[in-house]
């Protein structure tokens, strides 16, 4: 079980000084606590034996104040250092998971649900933090303070100690059971709380449609339902809590009863002094926390290690797509793409999405890829930046096998506008620059100009510094697409890929964008997936895909004259465009 925590070792070593100071302070507080009953014993013995003086009592009182003060200071110190350490572990672990997740290939994300990853990043990290923070404290207190307290009790009277310890196993066991139940209840409450938040958020986000359909009662019902589950789970948790303290008090009072009965007799017989008798009761009280800690720590560590196992599951995941040779090519890329016998099949799929595709694109060529829905266009485009992994030798760039080129270099040399436009809730500028270094103002201007966004952005209150997305300016589908084109253009990459990137702008704008884009892209390689005839006709060469096969390739005139697949697609598209607007 402790082996699961191995990845945390480096953080324990890193924080060793703070941790050592924190744990020493904890032990010091524990030790000081144990002396208070000794002072009580001395004052009571002095009183009962008639040896007390005002001076003596004042001394004892001052000693207690001194101990209490020192304890307060060192308790502050250990809490700060030990819990601080746990927070540092949490942060380091979170960064490590996120960093690792970014190296993993798309195939990992096809396999694993986002919700599961979120749960790892939130709940599991929290469980690990608890285990390394309060878990460590409970372990130390349970063992050291527990044993030391029993030691002090034994010092007073062995027989009395043994008898009064009878209820203690029940305290440990009961804490174990109840904290497990409370942990489960607490997680359930957290879970339903996020469901409540989500249902309210969704109800508000969909308020327009709810009102339009007069479905307020339906919307309210959904919020009410999750709210009721939340209350039920909270009550469940409250029941466990309500059980815990009364039962604990019962056990500790049982111990107290034993001490009064047996210890009282020993006192009468003169085996122990009255002071010892009172001190013994104090020790018994002190013992409650270490006993509870032992029960609790078992859960904390069990849960922590289960969480650590799940986290290790992610950290052990090996990125499928990485550099494959020791010295991958890091030099400049001109943009020749040669594909030879490319076949690709998605994992867990029977039929290949791409079958035996062969073609060559020369640097500076502009290529159109056409084909029906599901013909493999997007898959083909994703093989070039190695977003999906092909076999070595199927693709060469500038004559170099794709797998021998540094992965960062490949991806850095390709501007890829995917079919889905993802806009981050940030400023327009940050969405375009995307954290890349050395982007000049001029290139931002040029990219905005080329993607026909410049004019619209000028009308935004803060220009390119306007926030977009949640709480910012809402962009239309076409604007989003143009923004992602600007993002791809800005680094002026040798290869540009536009996967159906202009489907949501009108034909006129598409033509304008294409004019300016191809103007600034002159001499560079461009691959464009589009359905618009005006776009397709302007390219140097057209690839026609059908069911994963490259069935035709050539320029528009030749392909059209051939009267095969291309002609069919072309005529169908022509009809559609005529129906849409007579254009
Ligand atoms: P297109 O872009 O031409 O519409 P795609 O390349 O997206 O076609 O899809 C080609 C085929 O691969 C389709 O049959 C599609 O269902 C399948 N496919 C696409 N993405 C995945 C995926 N992530 N997992 C499994 N199959 C996929
Ligand atoms: Mg597609």
- Ligand 1 atom nearest to CA at 373: 4
- Looking at the chain, the whole-number percentage of residues with pLDDT higher than 70 is 99
CA of 418 from ligand 2 middle (Å) equals 8
pLDDT at 118: 85
Average pLDDT over residues 271-296: 94
379 lines ligand 1 (CB under 6 A): yes
Q: Count CB atoms within 10 A of the CB of residue 349.
A: 9
Residue 420: nearest ligand to its CA? 2
pLDDT at 581: 67
pLDDT at 27: 97
This prediction's pTM: 0.82
377 lines ligand 1 (CB under 6 A): yes
By most ligand atoms within 8 Å of CB, the mutation choice from 107, 113, 374 for ligand 1 is: 374
110 lines ligand 1 (CB under 6 A): yes
Alpha-carbon distances of 187 from 123, 127, 183, 406, 471, rounded to whole Å: 8, 10, 6, 44, 31
Residue 419: nearest ligand to its CA? 2
Residue ID of nearest Cα to ligand 1 atom 23:
110
Q: What is the pLDDT of residues 538-565, one digit of tens each?
A: 899 999 999 999 999 999 999 999 999 9
- Ligand 1 atom nearest to CA at 372: 3
CA of 403 from ligand 2 middle (Å) equals 24
Residue 471 above 70 pLDDT? no
382 lines ligand 1 (CB under 6 A): no
544 lines ligand 1 (CB under 6 A): no
Structure tokens at 420: 């889905």
346 lines ligand 1 (CB under 6 A): yes
Average pLDDT over residues 62-80: 97
Residue 401 bridge partners (DSSP): 396
Candidates 500, 495, 496, 567; CA nearest to 532 is 500
Q: What is the pLDDT of residues 92-140, one digit of tens each?
A: 999 999 999 999 999 999 988 887 888 888 889 999 999 999 999 999 9
Structure tokens at 424: 């981050």
Average pLDDT, the chain: 92
Candidates 313, 352, 336, 394; CA nearest to 101 is 313
Residue 470 above 80 pLDDT? no
Average pLDDT over residues 255-266: 94
Average pLDDT over residues 235-251: 91
Rounded to whole angstroms, the Cα distance separating 12 from 318 reads: 25
Decide the pairing of beta strands 495-499 and 525-529.
Answer: parallel
CA of 355 from ligand 1 middle (Å) equals 13
Alpha-carbon distances of 184 from 300, 306, 391, rounded to whole Å: 12, 14, 47
Cβ pair 510, 536 in contact under 8 A: no
Cβ pair 277, 264 in contact under 8 A: yes
Q: φ, ψ for residue 96 (rounded to 5)? A: -65, -45
Which residue segments constitute the domains of the chain, with CATH numbers given?
2-315 (1.20.1560.10), 335-413+495-503+529-583 (3.40.50.300)
pLDDT at 583: 47
Residue 467 above 50 pLDDT? yes
By most ligand atoms within 8 Å of CB, the mutation choice from 352, 377, 378, 420 for ligand 1 is: 378
By most ligand atoms within 8 Å of CB, the mutation choice from 376, 380, 384, 387 for ligand 1 is: 376
Range among 24-28, 196-200, 224-228, 566-570 with highest mean pLDDT value? 24-28
Q: What is the pLDDT of residues 406-426, one digit of tens each?
A: 999 999 999 999 988 899 999
Q: Count CB atoms within 10 A of the CB of residue 383.
A: 21
- Ligand 1 atom nearest to CA at 419: 2
């Amino acid at each position: 079980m402790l082996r699961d925590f191995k990845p945390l070792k480096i953080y324990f070593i890193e924080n060793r000084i703070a941790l050592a100071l924190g744990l020493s302070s904890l032990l010091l507080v524990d030790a000081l606590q144990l002396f208070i009953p000794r002072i009580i014993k001395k004052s009571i013995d002095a009183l009962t034996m008639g040896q007390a003086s005002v001076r003596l009592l004042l001394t004892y009182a001052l000693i207690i104040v001194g101990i209490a003060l020192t304890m307060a200071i060192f308790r502050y110190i250990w809490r700060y250092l030990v819990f601080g350490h746990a927070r540092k572990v949490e942060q380091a672990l979170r960064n490590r998971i996120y960093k690792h997740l970014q190296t993993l290939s798309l195939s990992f994300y096809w396999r694993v649900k986002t919700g599961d990853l979120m749960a790892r990043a939130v709940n599991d990290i929290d469980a690990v933090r608890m285990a390394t923070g309060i878990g460590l404290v409970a372990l130390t207190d349970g063992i050291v303070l527990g044993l030391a307290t029993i030691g002090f009790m034994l010092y007073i009277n062995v027989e009395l100690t043994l008898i009064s310890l009878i209820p203690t196993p029940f305290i440990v066991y009961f804490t174990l059971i109840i904290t497990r139940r409370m942990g489960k209840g607490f997680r359930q409450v957290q879970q339903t709380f996020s469901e409540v938040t989500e249902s309210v958020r969704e109800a508000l986000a969909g308020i327009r449609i709810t009102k339009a359909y007069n479905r307020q009662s339906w919307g309210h019902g959904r919020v009410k339902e999750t709210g009721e589950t939340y209350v039920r789970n909270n009550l469940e948790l409250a029941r466990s809590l309500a059980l815990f303290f009364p039962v604990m008090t019962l056990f500790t009072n049982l111990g107290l009863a034993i001490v009064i009965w047996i210890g009282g007799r020993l006192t009468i017989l003169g085996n122990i002094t009255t002071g010892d008798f009172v001190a013994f009761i104090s020790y018994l009280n002190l013992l409650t926390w270490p006993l509870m800690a032992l029960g609790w720590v078992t859960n904390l560590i069990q849960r922590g290690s289960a969480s650590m196992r799940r986290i290790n599951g992610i950290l052990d995941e090996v990125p499928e797509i990485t550099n494959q040779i020791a010295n991958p090519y890091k030099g400049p890329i001109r943009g020749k793409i040669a594909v030879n016998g490319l076949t690709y099949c998605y994992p867990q799929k029977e039929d290949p999405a791409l079958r035996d595709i062969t073609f060559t694109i020369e640097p500076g060529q502009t290529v159109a890829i056409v084909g029906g829905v599901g013909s493999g266009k997007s898959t083909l485009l994703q093989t070039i930046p190695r977003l999906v992994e092909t076999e070595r030798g199927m693709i060469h760039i500038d004559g170099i096998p794709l797998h021998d080129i540094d992965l960062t270099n490949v991806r850095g040399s390709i501007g890829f506008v995917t079919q889905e436009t993802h806009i981050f809730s940030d400023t327009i500028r940050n969405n375009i620059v995307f954290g890349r270094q050395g982007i000049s103002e001029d290139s931002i201007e040029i990219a905005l100009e080329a993607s026909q966004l410049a004019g619209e952005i000028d009308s935004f209150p803060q220009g390119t510094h306007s926030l977009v997305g949640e709480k910012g300016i809402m962009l239309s589908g076409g604007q989003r697409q143009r923004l992602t084109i600007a993002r791809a253009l800005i680094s002026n990459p040798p290869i540009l890929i536009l996967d159906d990137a202009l489907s949501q702008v009108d034909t006129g704008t598409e033509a304008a964008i294409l004019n300016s884009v191809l103007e600034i892209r002159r001499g560079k390689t461009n691959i464009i997936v589009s359905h618009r005839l005006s776009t397709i006709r302007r390219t140097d060469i057209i690839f026609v895909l059908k069911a994963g096969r490259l069935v035709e390739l050539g320029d528009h005139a030749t392909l059209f004259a051939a009267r095969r697949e291309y002609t069919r697609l072309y005529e169908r598209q022509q009809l559609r465009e005529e129906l849409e607007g007579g254009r």
